[in-house]
Chains A and B, each alone.
Chain A
Amino acid sequence: MSAARSPATAVAEPTASAPRAAPTQRGASLRPSFLRGATLVAGRELGASFESGVAYVYTIAFALLANSIFMNEFFLAGQVEMAPWFDSMPLLLAVFLPAVTMRSWAEEKRQRTIELLLTLPIRPLQAVLGKLLAALGLFGVFALSSLPIVAMLMTLGDPDLGRLVGGYLGLGLLGLLFLSFGLFLSAVSADQITAFVSSALLAFLLVLTGDERVVAVLDGLAPGLAAGSFVYDHISVVPQYEAFARGVVSLSGILYFTGLSAAFLWLNVLLLERNRG
């Protein structure tokens, strides 16, 4: 402390003595670097998830569900490969990732901390990326829960490493997309429930339009239009994701996921910049 001569006049207890002056070295005009600002928001967000216990509940529920679905398929099929685990991911993530992102902005708005956050020298882009990093961190913890399966497969046989790496890459990209629109919908929504329902709905839409039965029904509604096939080819996440899970890493697949994610993140930033008060 630089100017600690006279005792402090605490805000709680008035004294006759003069209040202590602030340290003379100013921190005013300082601001965090771009990366520092984003990681700071991410750290706070992730810390809040773990402190509240939400992160533990989600991780345990996700690990139990995903791994038990896999073990069931593993014993039925008797094949040493991760395919059943990756196959279950789109539907599971359509439930779990909206639960991760639902509170991101909706809770900031409900508690009015959004005004506190966005009047700090942190840009909306830094705040959005920070929230995304935190959500990706938790999603990473979900993914780590599959490591015992990988270890088991390595011990029991010789799984296709290319498919394994492709599968995880596809999983990461699928998660990135779900989290990006989850964050945007949380920023649009007035409360967490609306954010969760709208994000889960969009995720299910993108997943179910990849189901051949849904495609057949949609095609059957208007045979001339072949709407089901069009949606499957151009909108659904399933064909893109399945290509990665087969070990096929294509540029178009990467662009599909990253392009859509970037669009939602950009919309989120735009919303924060324009829709205040």
Chain B
Amino acid sequence: MIETASRPPSDASAPSTIKLVDADVHAVVPSTEALFPYLSGHWREHVQATMFKGPVENSYPRFAPTTWRPGTETSGSAPAGSDLGALQRDVLDADGVDVAILCCTYQIDSLHNPDAAVAFSQATNDWLVAEWLDRDPRLRAGIVVPIQLPELAAREIDRVGGHPGFVQVALPARTTFPLGNRIHAPIWEAIARNHLVGAIHFGGAPGTPPTPSGWSSYYFEEYVGMAHVVQSQVVSLITEGVFDLHPDVRVAVLESGFTWIGPFLWRFDKEWRNLRRLVPWVRRAPSEYVRDHLRFTIQPLDAPASDAHFLEAIDQIGSDNVLMYASDYPHRHVSSPARLLDLVTPGLAERIRSGNARDLYGLH
């Protein structure tokens, strides 16, 4: 169904023409009907004839334009982020983006019926290829997978992973088991086999609670708390030895903040010093794995009022190779990435604008 093509050979020595990479923009499935061309007759009829409409839940509040960037909610009933033309106009052209990485958070993980989960992830990936990747050469995307079914997720990665537009696999922050758990081994093997990046994104619908103390009342809590969920995922990936098994695998963490990274790593390193014997395959301090294997997008900034404190938080990460520019279009944020880019050294600003993403995704 999808032609496989090898990625263009990398030539790191030539100066890159890619000056700005937006590592987190959203492609939203506007309606179940939009996937009809990519669904079998069985599922089309099922959706048309019954109450089942596919994964209609969303990591962002439904019908809540407060989380959308002003101006994105214009296209009638279609949700923000579902229109390629608007993305081209508002982000790619407006910001001068050379490459943008699409993240589709369609909640395949909410479908407990395994056959529906597979059918809808296949349809979503085929839709991403036909209606986004094939229509603008500046776009790349993450493969949508049924994370709850690791063997089938791996099969889907193998099915479409050769398409040059797919550069990563979209993994929800909220899962039934942490992403490093051995239950997810087939996914990491497929990511490594296909030379892709694992991309942990905001949200997820595993049906288990979003905090260790159960379900919260407000979206506000879930939004803030996603950083803590992601922290647990980072702990899992490193503790379980995902990067020891797959030394070439890298993980992008999207839309979950970064000002917490330094102090989070102090604690993680400390516990490893105490408890190394339990996980002897972890041979270096966790912070070193983070600097070598993990990348974080910068929106939301979650910045303090004080520039000095903001710079300290960035410095505490301990590497210039960790942060990547992102708009998180079409979501609304309080601070512009410009605040960060203007504050850091020009060298670091260049790494954030494009250098780190170029290296991560092999963009040249």
A-B interaction = no
